[in-house]
């Protein structure tokens, strides 16, 4: 059920998430969620009555999808950028989820002071992928902060998760494969035992460009490598698993456009259809 009187600010759109009528507010030229966030929301093992927090929630896409697809008792999105946090909360209100989902504007490094230790069953995070010294820094703050470790580092995220999780609770993350060693080392440093790793490939003939990883706070030693996830199949169409994640029926499956080098096209807007400008 949607609130009808949502006021859009300048340069904002309402986009259809193509799942149970859910929608999200995004900026036309700001940071827009991508396939990585959708995969993470699907990867997290959220059970009925779980308490969940998303560290660095951005647009609020992950809390919205988790609340829409699971029986989580409560979902919190933590976002340091005030404008982004307010926009995410408006999306939550628009979807009628404010009884289960809320966004808090705050710093990941102060998350224990905000919420308390050993509070959550599940922590999810789609953190910035690039070090501050890696690549050109985007001059638009929301994009730069979302993509570069300006406001928080990978260690900040994992350290906070370890404190926020109950014993036996789960951290689920999406990141780049070249940071795998750092992720595993930091998880173990903060007593989160890596449990599952899954690599995501644009296509069967392409190398992985994303990884999904889950770890358990004070869990036993047992790491499982899951089957690779392919975004496109050999024919250049979305794979069956991607269609299942997006809940597309056969009549909705279309041959996607590809970039010149075969990578995922327009990854930050994939899976949404603009319905209002």
pLDDT in tens, 143-198: 555 554 457 899 999 999 999 999 999 999 999 999 999 999 999 999 999 999 99
- Is residue 240 in a domain? yes
* pLDDT at residue 265 greater than cutoff 80: no
Structure tokens at 60: 């609020």
- Is residue 166 in a domain? yes
Residue position matching structure tokens 């993470």: 40
Q: What share of the chain is helix, strand, coil (3-state, %, to 5)?
A: 30, 25, 45
- Is residue 239 in a domain? yes
- Is residue 193 in a domain? yes
- Spatial distance between the Cα atoms of 72 and 51, rounded to a whole number of angstroms: 6
Which residues make Cβ contacts (< 8 Å) with residue 4, sequence separation at least 6? none
Which residues make Cβ contacts (< 8 Å) with residue 251, sequence separation at least 6? none
- Is residue 164 in a domain? yes
Mean pLDDT within 189-218: 97
3-state class (DSSP) for residue 79? strand
Residue 152 belongs to domain spanning: 15-263
* pLDDT at residue 63 greater than cutoff 90: yes
- Is residue 7 in a domain? no
Instruction: Judge residue 245's burial from the number of C-beta atoms within 10 Å of its C-beta, 0-12 exposed, 13-18 middle, 19 or more buried.
Output: buried
Q: Which residue has the higher pLDDT, 218 or 148?
A: 218
The CATH number that applies at residue 238 is: 3.40.50.150
What's the first-to-final CA gap in the chain, in angstroms? Answer: 21
Instruction: Count up the domains in the chain and report the number.
Output: 1
The values of phi and psi at residue 51, to 5°, are -105, 135
Could you give the residue ranges of the DSSP H alpha helices within the chain? 35-43, 61-69, 82-94, 111-115, 141-147, 154-164, 180-189, 240-245
Greatest Cα pair distance, the chain, in angstroms, is 51
Structure tokens at 164: 């926020």
pLDDT band at 5 (very low <50, low <70, confident <90, very high): low
Q: Which residues pair with 79 in a beta bridge?
A: 105
- Spatial distance between the Cα atoms of 253 and 259, rounded to a whole number of angstroms: 19
Mean pLDDT within 209-237: 96
- Spatial distance between the Cα atoms of 20 and 232, rounded to a whole number of angstroms: 24
- Is residue 81 in a domain? yes
Sign of the alpha-carbon dihedral angle for 274, 136, 206, 183: negative
Tell if the pTM clears 0.75, that is, is over it. Answer: yes
Q: Which residue has the higher pLDDT, 58 or 129?
A: 58
- Is residue 269 in a domain? no
Structure tokens at 82: 């005030």
């Amino acid at each position: 059920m949607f609130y009808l009187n949502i006021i859009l600010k300048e340069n904002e759109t309402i986009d259809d998430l193509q799942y149970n009528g859910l929608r999200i507010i995004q900026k036309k030229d700001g940071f827009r969620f991508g396939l990585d966030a959708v995969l993470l929301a699907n990867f997290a093992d959220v059970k009925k009555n779980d308490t969940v927090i998303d560290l660095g929630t951005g647009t609020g896409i992950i809390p919205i999808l988790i609340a829409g697809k699971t029986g989580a008792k409560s979902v919190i999105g933590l976002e340091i950028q005030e404008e982004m946090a307010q926009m995410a909360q408006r999306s939550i209100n628009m979807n009628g989820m404010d009884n289960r989902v809320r966004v808090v504007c705050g710093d990941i490094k102060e998350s224990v002071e905000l919420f308390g230790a050993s509070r959550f069953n599940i922590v999810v995070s789609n953190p910035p992928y690039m070090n501050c010294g890696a690549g050109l820094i985007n001059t638009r703050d929301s994009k730069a902060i979302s993509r570069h470790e300006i406001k928080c580092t990978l260690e900040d995220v994992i350290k906070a998760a370890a404190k926020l999780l109950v014993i036996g609770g789960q951290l689920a993350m999406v990141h780049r494969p070249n940071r795998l060693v750092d992720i595993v080392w930091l998880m173990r440093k903060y007593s989160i035992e890596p449990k599952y790793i899954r690599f995501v490939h644009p296509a069967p003939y392409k190398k992985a460009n994303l990884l999904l990883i889950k770890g358990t706070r004070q869990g036993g030693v047992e790491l499982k490598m899951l089957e690779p996830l392919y975004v496109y199949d050999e024919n250049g169409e979305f794979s069956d698993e991607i269609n299942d994640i997006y809940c597309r029926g056969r009549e909705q499956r279309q041959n996607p456009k590809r970039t010149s080098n075969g990578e995922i096209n327009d990854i930050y807007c994939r899976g949404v259809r603009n319905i209002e400008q």
